[in-house]
Amino acid sequence: MKPVDLPKKIVIFLKEVRLEIKKVNWPTKKELVRYTLIIVGVSVAVAIFLGGLDIFFQFLRDRFIL
């Protein structure tokens, strides 16, 4: 590849990116809010579950090991 070809390749790349972006199925605002709330809810549930396991194992450690 010659250094002279670089600007042409960049322009071709950007045109292809623009064409691909037009093909993307973007979510609606309602879908975006719903999916965001699902992600936050699952994250909170996993955090509570892991926190509960942590407390449980700390209890076992303090009760039986130390």
Domain boundaries, the chain: 3-65
Estimate to the nearest angstrom the gap between the alpha carbon of 31 and the chain centroid.
Answer: 16
pLDDT in tens, 32-53: 999 999 999 999 999 999 999 9
Contact 26, 35 (CB under 8 A): no
The predicted model scores a pTM of 0.64
Give residue 65's pLDDT band: very low, low, confident or very high (50, 70, 90).
confident
